[in-house]
Amino acid sequence: MQADTVDGSTFKVRRIYCVGRNYVAHIHEMKEGDERDPPFFFQKPPNALVRDHGTVPYPPLTEDLQYEVELVVAIGKGGRNIALSDALEHVFGYAVGLDMTRRDRQREAGRKGLPWEIGKSFDYSAPCGAICPAAKVGHPATGAIRLLVDGRLRQDSDISLMIWKTPEIIANLSRQYELQPGDLIFTGTPAGVGAVVPGERLEAQVGTLPVLTVEIGPLRA
């Protein structure tokens, strides 16, 4: 799968990693975990990617499809056991993403002690906007992170409130997996997550990065 970049080229996506529970307020609203638990990761398949102005078909097996706006890190240089001080050297750029979630399936799996894949790792579950190279945008450490549904503000926070910052995420993840160029890392969502229905338009914003807009399509049979 290919992600877009702001200069019109494409970024070949290898893997999609996601960070769980990375904003205190979101941990509280979900009533899960401890605020300083070590970061944990899950994955979505590369074909979960949806480009800007694409459509997210409403998935089967859920009555509670929810949005989660996130800062996305695009890896340009691979490595294992990356030092915290070197982590940002491995970043190609940044984008705005959505971690679409079948919340009812996720919660059911959690209650049963089963893996999360059915709630997180389904088709069209990882919309991602155009990637802006770090050479142009720097390495965002502060900036508004917002999600609007049909123009109504639903999530409103700041990426400075991430528990684990971008260098820490990269360093921790590289101890579990060998990172490669083409990897995307969704860095977690703030509070305010909620359900969407077919026909609604989602607009995701992070700082000065290109806005990501998608529409929720009809139920995918």
DSSP 170-197: HHHHHHHS-B-TT-EEE----S--EE--
> Rounded to an integer, what is the distance from CA 180 to the centroid of its chain?
18
Query: pLDDT category, 21, cuts 50, 70, 90?
Result: confident
Average pLDDT for residues 154-175, to the nearest whole number?
Answer: 97
Q: Which domain holds residue 53?
A: 2-219
pTM of the model: 0.94
Q: What percentage of the chain exceeds 70 in pLDDT?
A: 95
Strand positions, DSSP E, 6-134: 10-12, 16-20, 40-44, 49-50, 55-58, 65-67, 69-75, 91-98, 101-102, 126-127, 132-133
More confident residue, 132 or 31: 132
Domain count for the chain, please give it: 1
Classified as helix, coil or strand, 134 is helix
- Dmax over CA atoms of the chain, in Å, equals 48
Per-residue confidence at 25, pLDDT binned at 50, 70, 90? low
Confidence of residue 97 (pLDDT cuts 50, 70, 90): very high
The CATH number given to whatever domain includes residue 61 is: 3.90.850.10
pLDDT in tens, 124-162: 999 999 999 999 999 999 999 999 999 999 999 999 999
Strands 91-98 and 132-133: antiparallel
pLDDT beyond 90 at 53: yes
d(CA 196, CA 177): 33
Q: How far apart are CA 157 and CA 146, in angstroms?
A: 6
